[in-house]
Structure 1
Amino acid sequence: MVVLEHSIDTPKRGRTVSTSSVTVTGMTCDHCVSSVTEEISALPGVTSVNVDLATGKVVIDSTTDLDPGAVADAVEEAGYSLAG
């Protein structure tokens, strides 16, 4: 089961932004970060993706709630997996 940490931020440009975070395992370099960022950014509604290579934490801003399964699939498509 995939669990996204989730919060609702203040409206930006008239839209409420949802912020979710996950931890990705197996990333070791900037190319890893780019791959994960690219795959998650392609999900509908995603407006930004910030990856901390040292901790594996990925913070995702979106205009809608994200489907945890879709996030897990995107991470797997990049060649990595979610912690937990």
Structure 2
Amino acid sequence: MAEKKIVVKGMSCGHCAGAVTKTLETTEGIRNVKVNLATGEVTYEEVNPVDAATISAKIKKAGYEVAG
């Protein structure tokens, strides 16, 4: 398992953090999602490889944007 980190733009409250957490935790191959609202950093464990484009698309569909 590899721990990954992304920065998500547009999160401003607990609801935002929950939406991003739920979006990632329902993605096959991802678990243990942690969101830091102050920095926008989201860390998670990849138990199976997940394409970065897939993650970005799911985050965008939830109403947020992956930085970079």
Query: For the superposition of Structure 1 and Structure 2, which TM-score range results when normalised by the shorter chain?
Result: over 0.9
Would you tell me which structure has more helix in proportion to its own residues? 2
Equivalent residues in 2 for 1:1-84, closer than 5 Å: 17-84=1-68
Q: Percent identity?
A: 32
CA distance in 2, matches of 1:73, 1:39: 10
CA contact (8 A) 1:39 1:77 kept: no
Unaligned runs of 5+ in 1: 1-16
Instruction: Using the TM superposition, give the Cα deviation of residue 61 of structure 1 relative to its aligned residue in structure 2, in angstroms.
Output: 0.6
Query: What secondary structure sits across from 1:21 in the alignment?
Result: strand
Count of residue pairs brought into register by the alignment:
68
Unaligned runs of 5+ in 2: none
What TM-score, normalized to structure 2?
A: 0.92
Larger Rg belongs to: 1
Q: Please provide the CA RMSD for this pair.
A: 0.9
Of the two structures, which has the highest relative contact order with CA contacts closer than 8 Å and spacing of 6 or more? 2
What TM-score, normalized to structure 1?
A: 0.76
